[in-house]
Amino acid sequence: MLSDIILGFERAVSLDALLFCFIGVTIGTFVGVLPGVGALAAVSLCLPLTYYLDPTVALIMLAGIFYGAQYGSSTASILLNVPGTVTAAVTCLDGYPMTKQGRAGLALFVTTICSFVGGSIAIVLMMGFTPLIARAALSFSSAEYFMIMALGLVVASTISSGSQLKSLAMVGFGLALGLVGTDLNSGVSRFTFGQIELYDGISLVPIAMGLFGVAEILNSIQASGTRTLNATGISFRSMLPTRAEWKSIVGPTLRGTAIGAGIGALPGSGATVATFMAYAAEKRRSKTPERFGKGAIEGIAAPEAANNSAVQAAFVPTLSLGIPGDALMAFLLGAMLIHGIVPGPRFLTDQPEMFWGLVASFWIGNVLLLVLNIPLIGLWVRMLSIPYNILFPAMLFFICVGVYSIEYQVFDIGLVILFGLLGFLMNRLGYPPAPLLLGFILGPMMEEHFKRSLLMSRGSFSIFWERPISAVLLVVILLLLALSVRTILKDRRKPADDTA
Amino acid sequence: MSDDPTETAGPERAGAWEYGAAAALVLLGGYMILEGLGFGVGTIRRMGPGFFPVAVGVGLAALAVGILSELRRGGVSRLNAPIRPLLFIIGSLVVFAATVEPLGMIPATILLVLIGSFADRSMTPLRAAISAVALAILGYLVFILGFDLPLNAF
């Protein structure tokens, strides 16, 4: 193991890896800071550019955008009461009151430190657990894989807020989109409408850019009204916590990290859920819960530790099983496949340099982020005053050139337009886009594993409950679905005043 | 995803868009079942290419019927579509798609940014022109000189 770690660091400190790690976390912080530009949109914008890079370096950079965005996302929450990305929504609750009390510097410092601690601990856990799970997974058959993916989809759609039926329907829609293209087993082309461009299936990037890029622009132009930036006088001095404040954040940070790591590693539940749970847990534990929502320092420490820890932990199932936990990881998995890397139990043994290099780059990236976010915080704060009407034309440009440069097909830009409109409508009508992306990416793999399972069992469905791990997963899925049906029926009986 | 429409959904009566979306999902499910049956479902032991489409179609249609009945309790009554951003953003993308091959990347970029910028009401012509030229130059430097992509500048 030690030799693996050394191998990883050797790869990660090479000049190209360092450079692209730095570029990745800087872009990540940038998009994290700016409301209206999400991590998923940023990664899909950068994906075409990484085609020309070494796969390890490409992965290091794309991963850097993910966890970098978690650092930056708290800045706008604290200063503007607008989350930079969804995962920082909870940080608004206590971060913005702190700004109004003139404690913005302290809040920014605490969120960065907690992010760092949460991220670092989760990386250690990831280094320990990924090889273990990968080893265990070597004995998994298609039945287990199918069940884990199904669990991921069910979890992803049942724990989101809003209508569970709509989330589940979006999973179905995603699965449907994943079916488009030539069926590998039979050679039959399905749902291609005679379009040659669709024979290989719909590409991932146009879908992600449409649903998360164009739709985000359409929604943000309206939302971005006047922002009042209240960030005068953030000196380094004002950022440092007092001894009592240091003491009060230790517990919340560690508990937030634990919640984040647990939730993040589960298939289907991502960083957003982890932050809400961490906040709720702190509030419940607190002797003075009335301070929450009025600038309680614990209320920013726990969720910030949780979201960074969750993002790092989410790499565990993605890399060890090849099963992404949420839409972001699903996208990263898609990016790995495009680079010809197949994540899964064999990934660690076949390409140790890539895995350990990636892990080592997480350490380097987190240290870089600490530097980017504490001494240079003033720079990012100034970024917040960039008007949105400078930003979104640039995003449009990167979306267009990015999508077009994948295969030089105007058809792909057409797909972006289509999915942009679709994403806009979905957003307005309360259909979440993340389960769609998850279904789209997992769908083809699930079909394959489902067919293989039944081929193995000679057509008997009992394979899904005769193997112990598969049986446990099946029970969990059925329990979750039963719970969800109960919620739906209970909602139905209630008067229609609180549907959300 | 800054505004969450479910928050305002509340007791409002679901409007035509809500019903339309759910109905479209029912139709999509039905279409998948029909097409899937055409591909050949096969047997459980040796599934044909139509098996999964039919399964997904059944699930989708069932869920969509569930959504339809859920809508009786309320939903989004009006779409409140931002006409101006929709028109300019989508328009700019269409223009880029139409011009990138015949005219090349630089003219297509300039048109894209010029049109797209006006999605925002407070945009001034000068600002849009500066953005357009700056992004076209940036694109040329990064994508054509930097990454050496086989794009035609003109």
pLDDT for the residue B115: 93
- Per residue in A55-67, pLDDT (tens digit) is 899 999 999 998 8
Q: Which member of B7, B85, B122 has the closest CB to residue A222?
A: B85
pLDDT of residue A497 exceeding 50, the answer is no
The one-letter amino acid code at A109 reads F
Query: For residue A189, which phi and psi values (nearest 5 degrees)?
Result: -90, 125
Q: Residue A447: closest CA among chain B residues belongs to which residue?
A: B52
Q: Which member of B53, B123, B147 has the closest CB to residue A179?
A: B53
A496 and B127 within 8 Å at the Cβ level: the answer is no
Q: Distance of CA A288 to CAs A104, A294, A304, A427, Å?
A: 22, 11, 20, 37
Chain B residue numbers with beta carbons less than 8 Å from the beta carbon of A414 are: 97
The one-letter amino acid code at A384 reads L
Number of neighbours of residue A376 by Cβ within 10 angstroms: 12
- Top pLDDT among A75 and B58 is at B58
A252-274 mean pLDDT: 86
A405 and B143 within 8 Å at the Cβ level: the answer is yes
Which span out of A31-40, A44-53, B21-30, B121-130 was modeled with the highest average pLDDT? B21-30
A314-325 mean pLDDT: 87
In a domain, A80, yes or no: yes
In a domain, A419, yes or no: no
A61's tokens: 């950079």
B2 and A166 within 8 Å at the Cβ level: the answer is no
B76 and A172 within 8 Å at the Cβ level: the answer is no
pLDDT of residue A364 exceeding 90, the answer is yes
pLDDT in tens, chain B (154 residues): 344 444 444 457 888 899 999 999 999 999 999 988 988 888 877 788 888 899 999 999 999 999 998 888 878 888 878 888 899 999 999 999 999 989 988 999 999 999 999 998 888 899 899 999 999 998 888 888 877 777 777 7
In a domain, A172, yes or no: no
In a domain, A483, yes or no: no
User: Residue A16 belongs to what domain range?
Assistant: 2-144+208-409
pLDDT of residue A224 exceeding 80, the answer is no
**Residue A405's pLDDT band (cuts 50, 70, 90):** confident
Strand pairing class (A189-190; A181-182): antiparallel
Chain A residue numbers with beta carbons less than 8 Å from the beta carbon of B49 are: 183, 185-186, 188, 190
Do residues A217 and A36 make contact, with C-beta atoms less than 8 angstroms apart?
yes
A396 and B25 within 8 Å at the Cβ level: the answer is no
In a domain, A164, yes or no: no
pLDDT of residue A498 exceeding 50, the answer is no
CA B59 from chain center: how many Å? 23
In a domain, A192, yes or no: no
pLDDT for the residue A230: 56
pLDDT of residue A492 exceeding 80, the answer is no
- Per residue in A412-454, pLDDT (tens digit) is 999 999 999 999 999 889 898 888 988 998 888 899 899 889 8
User: Can you list the pairs that A344-349 forms with residues at least 24 positions away whose Cβ atoms lie under 8 Å?
Assistant: A344/A134, A344/A137, A344/A320, A345/A134, A345/A135, A345/A137, A345/A138, A345/A140, A345/A320, A345/A321, A346/A138, A347/A134, A347/A319, A347/A320, A347/A322, A348/A130, A348/A131, A348/A134, A348/A319, A348/A320, A349/A134
In a domain, A371, yes or no: yes
**Residue A231's pLDDT band (cuts 50, 70, 90):** low
Total of domains in chain A: 1
pTM for the predicted model, two decimal places:
0.85
pLDDT for the residue A123: 93
pLDDT of residue A42 exceeding 50, the answer is yes
In a domain, A109, yes or no: yes
pLDDT over 70 percentage in chain A: 95
- Angle (CA) A208-A313-A94 rounded to 5° is 85
Chain A residue numbers with beta carbons less than 8 Å from the beta carbon of B131 are: 390, 393-394
